[in-house]
Amino acid sequence: MTREPPLLPAAWDVPGIFRQRLGQRVGRQRVMFAEGHLLVILHQPPKPDETRRTGRLFWREPDGTWHSNSLGSGIQALHRHIEEYNRALQALEAREDEAETSDDYFALLQAIAPLFRAARNMYDTLQQARQAVGEDRGLISCRDDAYALQRTAELLQWNIKGGLECAIARRAEEEARSSREMAMASHRLNVLAAIFFPVVTIASIFGMNLKHGLEDVLSPVLFWAVLLVGIVSGFALKAAIVHGRLSRDERRRTG
């Protein structure tokens, strides 16, 4: 198993307690302060499928000089770090504008959740850093930018949740409409079956190859009489079905 390199650059002349307290993994976002030196430990913008955070370290010397382990020197390094979060949120906002289905919104929720948590913890960390060093206009400006970033992430998360609820409601309404249409189609088929069922039944009975004594009686008057009886019976059965359905619907509305 290969040993991971130390998080703090070897060239940094920081108090020894920083190296003692900082392990091989970045851990949570936090601040260390000793002998006038400030160490701010932050996370890079996280991705939805990341299980381990990548750290960014910012060191402020007692004279106010800033250094970072990956974004250069000066307070602008901290501004660049915050800007990366801002770009990540802008990309999610663009995706949120194009989202239509619940799957789209679920994917956005998975992306915004770790980003929002990281932005909120970053603001808390920078507030602690500002309290540790007192008046540092550059740090105060970064702290304020981090607060605005946190609010943007929070509002975006609310919008995504609202969009997800609307998408789910829209899908439920479409499924309900489809169910109603299927029920209406089934009802129409039942009505048609009710109309022709007596005729088909009578025709099946008299169409059997059995001697029943009516083959030559009043032909074709008997045929038309039987057909008429079947049709009348069919419409009576249809009326009973429709009336029963209307009665059930009325009971549901009044119940």
Question: Could you tell me if residue 193 is inside a domain?
Answer: yes
Residue 1's pLDDT is 37
Residue 91's pLDDT is 92
d(CA 128, CA 145): 15
Residue 243's pLDDT is 67
Residue 254's pLDDT is 60
pTM metric for this prediction = 0.66
Residue 213's pLDDT is 58
Residue 43's pLDDT is 92
pLDDT along the chain (255 residues), means of 10: 63 87 83 92 86 88 90 91 93 86 85 91 94 88 93 90 79 76 73 68 62 59 68 70 61 57
Number of CB atoms found within 10 A of residue 32's CB: 19
Domain hosting 236: range is: 178-254
Question: Could you tell me if residue 231 is inside a domain?
Answer: yes
Residue 2's pLDDT is 42
**How many domains are there within the chain?**
1
Q: Give the three-state DSSP class for 164.
A: helix
Question: Could you tell me if residue 111 is inside a domain?
Answer: no
CA-based nearest residue to 122, from 134, 137, 139, 110:
139
Its sign, for the CA torsion 204, 208, 214, 216, is: positive
Over residues 107-155, the pLDDT tens digits come to 888 888 899 999 999 999 999 999 998 888 999 999 999 999 999 999 9
Question: Could you tell me if residue 244 is inside a domain?
Answer: yes
